[in-house]
Amino acid sequence: NAGVTQTPKFQVLKTGQSMTLQCAQDMNHNSMYWYRQDPGMGLRLIYYSASEGTTDKGEVPNGYNVSRLNKREFSLRLESAAPSQTSVYFCASSEALGTGSYEQYFGPGTRLTVT
Amino acid sequence: AQSVAQPEDQVNVAEGNPLTVKCTYSVSGNPYLFWYVQYPNRGLQFLLKYITGDNLVKGSYGFEAEFNKSQTSFHLKNPSALVSDSALYFCAVRDRGRRALTFGSGTRLQVQP
C-alpha cells in the first residue's frame, strides 16, 4: 500500500496564478483532510471531507477550494495564489467516526512557494 | 474550542538519558489525544494515542505518554533517548464528536551523542 500520496512535491507560482494539489489514499478511508504547516504554528486545518460527497471548512479556508472527487481522491485548489499561501501542504486521511480507529495518516507534503 | 500548548520549542537531551516532551490541552468534553513525529522533509508519522482506558499509553520506538485529566496534560516520554529520535514532535487533540485535529506548535527534540 502506498498510503497517502500527494502531487506535486514542489511548486513555485507567481502571484495570481492558480493550481490544484492532488491527494489520493489507498486505505479505503472515509475522511480526508488538507492542512498547511507554517514555521512555529504547527498544522492548521484548511478543509476536510468526512465522507465522499461532503466537504467542510476548517480553521483557515479563505483562498482555497476543495473537491472530493471520489472516496480515494481529495484535491485542493488555489484560484489566485498569494504570497501568504507559501507553505507546506499536507493531506491526511482517517477512518470515519465510530469505527474505533482515530488516528490520521499523512502524505509526504507539497512545498509551495508563491512569489 | 479545542487547543493544544507545547511550551518548549526545543528539548535537548543526551543519548541514553530519559526525555520528556510536554503537552497540555483544552477541550470542552473528553479528549482524544495524539502524538506525531516529523522527520526532515517528511510527513507526520503517528506515534501513539489516548482514547480511553489506561492513562499510560505505549507507542512506537519505545515512546509512551501519560494522560493526566486533572492537569489536562499528555506528556510524551522515552526512558532512553537515541540520536535517531531527533525530530519535530507534535501533540494533537480532538474533542469527541468532532472530526478535526488541533495541533500544537511542535517541539524539536535534539539528542546529542
- Which pLDDT score is estimated for A40? 78
CB A74 within 8 A of CB A84: no
Grid cell locating A44: 492548521
Say how far apart CA B5 and CA B102 lie, in whole Å.
10
Give the nearest chain B residue to A37 (CA atoms): B105
What does the pLDDT read at residue A101?
65
pLDDT tens per residue, range B72-91: 999 999 999 999 999 999 99
CB within 8 Å: A43 and B45:
no
Does the distance separating the beta carbons of A102 and B43 come in below 8 Å? no
A37-51 pLDDT, tens digit per residue, is 998 788 999 999 988
- Alpha-carbon A67 to chain mean position: 10
Please state, in angstroms and rounded to a whole number, the distance separating the CA atoms of residues B70 and B57: 17
- Please give the pLDDT value at position A18: 96
Query: Phi then psi for A38, rounded to 5 degrees?
Result: -120, 145
Confidence at residue B60, expressed as pLDDT on a 0 to 100 scale? 84
**What's the pLDDT tens digit per position in A53-74?**
899 999 999 999 999 989 999 9
pLDDT exceeding 70 applies to what percent of chain A? 94
Number of Cβ within 10 Å of residue B71's Cβ equals: 10
Query: How many Cβ contacts (< 8 angstroms) between chains A and B?
Result: 55
Checking if the pLDDT of A15 tops 90, the result is yes
Give the Cα separation of A34 and A12 in Å (integer).
Answer: 19
Distance of CA B22 to the CA centre of its chain: 7
Summarised one tens digit per residue, pLDDT across range B18-66 is: 999 999 999 888 889 999 999 988 889 999 999 888 899 999 889 999 9
Q: Do B44 and A44 touch (CB under 8 A)?
A: no
Among the partner-chain residues A42, A48, A109, the one whose CB lies closest to the CB of B99 is: A48
Half-sphere exposure of A79 (CA within 13 A, CB side): 7
Question: Can you tell me the distance from the alpha carbon of B20 to that of B93, in angstroms, rounded to the nearest whole number?
Answer: 18
Res A97 pLDDT > 60:
no
Q: Which three cell numbers stand for residue A79?
A: 484560484
Q: Rounded mean pLDDT of chain A? A: 92
pLDDT digits 0-9 by tens, B8-27: 999 999 999 999 999 999 98
Collapsing DSSP to helix, strand or coil, B83 comes out as helix
